């Protein structure tokens, strides 16, 4: 088994390598003058079980091309098996046709990874579970809930907890976390805009008065939904609101928005490398997922059960 990484999240790749007590494969990722990507692997990988660690976050297209080119290089170097380890799978929100003449880009990206030569894919908290079916190769979708639930119980276990889904579509995800928190109660934020041009109205389904609320989602991008949901929960009598999200996309001025919100803190994993703005935010905290990914990689290499990680 060997690990190799692109430039998307080198700190995470090094942490995974540290957990597995093995070095990253020596490789260089360079750019030509016209920004074409060139990858050269400086070690023999013939017959090796290769794991390519590369989230496809911003800049999504550059990071995706790095992943595809690295897989192609390994395939042409006669690697025995290639597993694409994609902690954050970009384009996942384009998993269906929202209207006529629109693409299903998540399926396109799945096809690209498969055709490049990957034999297996390992992701964390896909935006939609059905994306696993977009791949024609074995796909493991790890869950951040076990890591998050342990952190919640250690920090806020003494509080009267209620898990809140920020929208109706995330209810199953929030319920899964609630079960891990000793079957904590569940609430839902229902967003409605009665007419075009009118501000969004947020209704809370469930009792949150006097409760310590845990907002849970798979990703946070602009932060607008989380911040608005936190305000609605506080208005309904919640004592405090903390948000736990697996992927901190945090584009634009999201970090500033989170810092100025009523959120006590936003907790995200290090599936995406932090920007300077996010690192400087006083109420944004990171949970490491290198042990989770490292253990899954070890089990895939050993041909043992990955699902038992979540029992």
Going by the annotation, the residues of the binding site for ATP are 34-36, 93-94
Question: Distance of CA 167 to CAs 86, 206, 226, Å?
Answer: 25, 13, 10
Annotated binding site: 34-36, 93-94, 127, 167, 193, 217, 221-225
The answer to whether 265 and 285 are in contact (CB under 8 A) is yes
The answer to whether 216 and 175 are in contact (CB under 8 A) is no
Annotated binding site for D-ribose 5-phosphate: 193, 217, 221-225
The answer to whether 246 and 293 are in contact (CB under 8 A) is no
Token pair recorded at residue 43 = 């070690």
Ranges of beta strands (E only) in the chain are 2-5, 27-31, 37-41, 49-53, 81-86, 120-124, 139-142, 161-165, 186-192, 201-205, 212-220, 240-248, 265-269, 284-287
191 part of the active site: yes
Annotated binding site for Mg(2+): 127, 167
The answer to whether 141 and 176 are in contact (CB under 8 A) is no
2, 179, 191, 195: which is the annotated catalytic residue? 191
- Is the backbone of residue 170 left (phi > 0), alpha (psi -120 to 50) or beta? alpha
Which residues are marked as active site? 191
């Amino acid at each position: 088994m060997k690990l190799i990484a692109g430039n998307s999240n080198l700190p995470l790749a090094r942490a995974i390598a540290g957990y597995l007590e093995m070095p990253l494969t020596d490789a260089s990722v360079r750019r030509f003058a016209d920004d074409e990507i060139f990858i050269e692997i400086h070690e023999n990988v013939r017959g090796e079980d290769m794991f390519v660690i590369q989230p496809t976050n911003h800049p999504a297209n550059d990071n995706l091309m790095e992943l595809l080119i690295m897989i192609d290089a390994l395939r042409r170097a006669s690697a025995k098996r290639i597993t694409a380890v994609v902690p954050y799978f970009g384009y996942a929100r384009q998993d269906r046709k929202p209207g006529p003449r629109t693409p299903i880009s998540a399926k396109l990206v799945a096809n690209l990874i498969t055709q490049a030569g990957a034999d297996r894919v390992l992701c964390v908290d896909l935006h939609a579970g059905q994306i696993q079916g977009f791949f024609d190769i074995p796909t493991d979708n790890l869950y951040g809930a076990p890591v998050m639930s342990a952190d919640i119980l250690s920090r806020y276990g003494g509080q009267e907890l209620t898990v809140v889904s920020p929208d109706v579509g995330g209810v199953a995800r929030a319920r899964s976390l609630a079960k891990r928190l000793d079957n904590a109660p569940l609430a839902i934020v229902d967003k409605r805009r009665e007419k075009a041009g009118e501000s969004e109205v947020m209704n809370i389904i469930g009792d949150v008065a006097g409760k310590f609320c845990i907002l849970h989602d798979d990703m946070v991008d602009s932060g607008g939904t989380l911040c608005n949901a936190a305000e609605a929960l506080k208005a309904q009598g919640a004592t405090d609101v903390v948000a736990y999200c697996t992927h901190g996309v945090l584009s634009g001025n999201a970090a500033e928005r989170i810092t100025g919100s009523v959120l006590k803190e936003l907790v995200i994993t290090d599936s995406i490398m932090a920007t300077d703005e996010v690192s400087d935010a006083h109420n944004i905290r990171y949970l490491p997922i290198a042990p989770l990914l490292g253990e899954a990689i070890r089990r895939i290499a050993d041909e043992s059960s990955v699902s038992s990680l979540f029992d």
